[in-house]
Amino acid sequence: MGVHVLLRRDAGCARAAGCPITGCRRQGRAFAAGAFYDYDPKYFQNTILKGFRSTGYGTFNVIEQVAPKVKARGMDFFAWDMNNANAGVPRLIPNYAEVTEVDLNGRRTSSPCFNHPDYRAFLSGKVESLLAGYASAVDGVAWGCEREGPLNGMLSGGGAGSCFCQFCQAKGRERGISVERARRDTARWASCSMRRVRTLGRWMATSPHSGDCCCNIPRF
């Protein structure tokens, strides 16, 4: 089976090996992710998230540089829209902190809320800016988002239960969900999970059989 599609990840050229098509390599400098293509602002008129063009490689445009060479080889070009939640992103993209989730205790997290209208418009704008803005170059978009849901976050000790932003609360009420009951039960679950995580941590730290199964952790 031959390769007929190139999935282009925005940060792909940051790899030490560089890009085999463009020869682009990271130059050992501070690097901030973002869009490695030029987008038309018209696609982002309905969102407060407008400035996310990465300057890590100056004006390097991965679509203009790579897509023609890919197509010359008889392959399709797919953009990879990576949307991982990262604590550094709110500092890199103006207004990003305003679209992040709100946890059980009313604190902002670093994960964007999928029910926030500005974030939804931002996601739509990216897809449109790729498929309409580069209609002859981009054949499709692969969407990536590596992040835990609220239950997984609490189970692993990495989350405090989200999202309780105004938009999620309104959506819950529209569906007949009691927000206060959800908040109360999430708090109970979070408390139980944190005890279990602490117990697991103590057990792992004291066990002489590091790496063994943890099924002997006392239940509570």
Residues that bind Zn ion (CB under 5 A): 113, 115, 163, 165, 168
Q: Quick count: other Cβ atoms within 10 Å of Cβ 38?
A: 13
Smallest distance from the beta carbon of 102 to Zn ion, in angstroms? Answer: 6
At residue 103, φ and ψ (nearest 5 deg) are -85, -175
Smallest distance from the beta carbon of 99 to Zn ion, in angstroms? Answer: 9
At residue 119, φ and ψ (nearest 5 deg) are -70, -35
Q: Which is nearer to Zn ion, 113 or 160 (CB)?
A: 113
Smallest distance from the beta carbon of 107 to Zn ion, in angstroms? Answer: 13
Q: Which is nearer to Zn ion, 5 or 177 (CB)?
A: 177
Smallest distance from the beta carbon of 95 to Zn ion, in angstroms? Answer: 16
Q: Which is nearer to Zn ion, 113 or 137 (CB)?
A: 113
Q: Which is nearer to Zn ion, 54 or 162 (CB)?
A: 162
166-174 and 179-206 helices, crossing angle to 10°: 120
Pairing of strands 108-112, 100-102: antiparallel
Enumerate the β-bridge partners of residue 162. Answer: 103
Distance in angstroms (rounded) separating the CA atoms of residues 41 and 45: 7
Smallest distance from the beta carbon of 91 to Zn ion, in angstroms? Answer: 20
Q: Quick count: other Cβ atoms within 10 Å of Cβ 63?
A: 21
Alpha-carbon distance values, 35 to 55, 56, 130 (Å): 9, 10, 11
Which of the 8 DSSP states describes residue 43? Answer: G
Smallest distance from the beta carbon of 166 to Zn ion, in angstroms? Answer: 8
Q: Which is nearer to Zn ion, 76 or 98 (CB)?
A: 98
How far, in whole angstroms, is CA 135 from its chain's centroid?
Answer: 25
Q: Which is nearer to Zn ion, 121 or 168 (CB)?
A: 168
Distance in angstroms (rounded) separating the CA atoms of residues 207 and 203: 6
